[in-house]
Amino acid sequence: MDVGVVSRSFPEMSNKETAEFLAKEGFKWTELCFSQTDSNYWVYNGRSDLTTLTNKKSKEIIDVYQAYGIEVTAIGVFTNLLELDEGEAQQNLAYFERLMEIAAINNIPYVATECGFIPGKRGINADTYESAFELFKDRLGQLVQKAQSYNISIALEPCVLDIIPSAKRTVDLIKQIGSNHLKVLLDPANLIANQSEEDMFRYLAPYIAYFHGKDRKVNDAYGRAIGDGDINWPLFFQLYHQYTEGIPFIMEYVNLNNCCDIRDRVLRFEKQSLTLK
């Protein structure tokens, strides 16, 4: 089984150093977040100034990974689509579109995002349960229409902590948006408190663009490295082979010092999956 790693696992390295390391250690894919020392644009749940990230520079960066045989599956955006200030929200949408444009220019099929959140108010609140969903659906719908014009897709990462907290609600949202340019970035750690491994695949398998690989204890707020949480990984990989063979599996919550060891855990779990009945 092939494994990848998100580029933001290596913020201390340049793009060339990151690509060289990934190739040397046998990784196949990355989710590119422009988080390296020579392209430090990464801001989680916000945005950065992309003025100096020209089309030419983006191509030079992505060409480096491709030269080392690393496939860039997606560009990670992860901005806040629930921003309440309309001016800020429009800037977030413009930031998102610029990264979609970069993806399209470089033939990268996906841009990835979570729902976003207001700091200190993350998750579902009864008084905003419906309005927040409608706001998110409207903004995501706008972006999906633009994604269609760029001939790419948005990969949405649902999470128990967010306004789209389950596999079932994710499918409902996809059907309401009504476009095959909206896909799913499935991180099983983000749903394990709400769904079984079987339910994740039962609901989401037809829509999965790629996977994040991390773990979580059911009652934890934050993720852990694979094998340190409550996910049944042999079962997960059995379902992976049954329903989503070959779709990129890209680890996160790893770093330069442990990513190869965690990758080896993945391969052991995957080997165990082949013996399950």
Q: How far apart are CA 158 and CA 174, in angstroms?
A: 12
Q: What is the pLDDT of residue 65?
A: 98
pLDDT value at 63 more than 90: yes
Residue 56 maps to which CATH number? 3.20.20.150
Of all residues in the chain, what percent carry a pLDDT higher than 90?
A: 95
Q: What are the CA-CA distances from residue 209 to residues 124, 140, 236, 261 (Å)?
A: 25, 17, 16, 25
What number of other Cβ atoms are within 10 A of residue 162's Cβ?
A: 20
Domain span at residue 151 reads 4-273
Domain count within the chain: 1
Q: How far apart are CA 255 and CA 227, in angstroms?
A: 15
Q: What is the pLDDT of residue 124?
A: 87
CB 167 within 8 A of CB 200: yes
Q: What is the mean pLDDT of residues 34-47?
A: 97
Helices first, then strands: H and E counts in the chain: 9, 10
Tens-place pLDDT, residues 146-188: 999 999 999 999 999 999 999 999 999 999 999 999 999 999 9
Q: What is the pLDDT of residue 125?
A: 87
Q: How far apart are CA 59 and CA 36, in angstroms?
A: 15
Tens-place pLDDT, residues 2-25: 999 999 999 999 999 999 999 999
CB 253 within 8 A of CB 224: yes
Question: Would the pTM of this model clear 0.85, i.e. be above it?
Answer: yes
Q: What is the mean pLDDT of residues 237-256?
A: 98
Q: How confident is the model at residue 123 (pLDDT cuts 50, 70, 90)?
A: confident
Q: What is the pLDDT of residue 121?
A: 87
Q: How confident is the model at residue 58 (pLDDT cuts 50, 70, 90)?
A: very high
Instruction: Please give the mean pLDDT across all residues of the chain.
Output: 97
User: Which ranges of 197-258 would DSSP assign to H, the alpha helix?
Assistant: 197-204, 233-243
Q: What is the mean pLDDT of residues 42-56?
A: 97
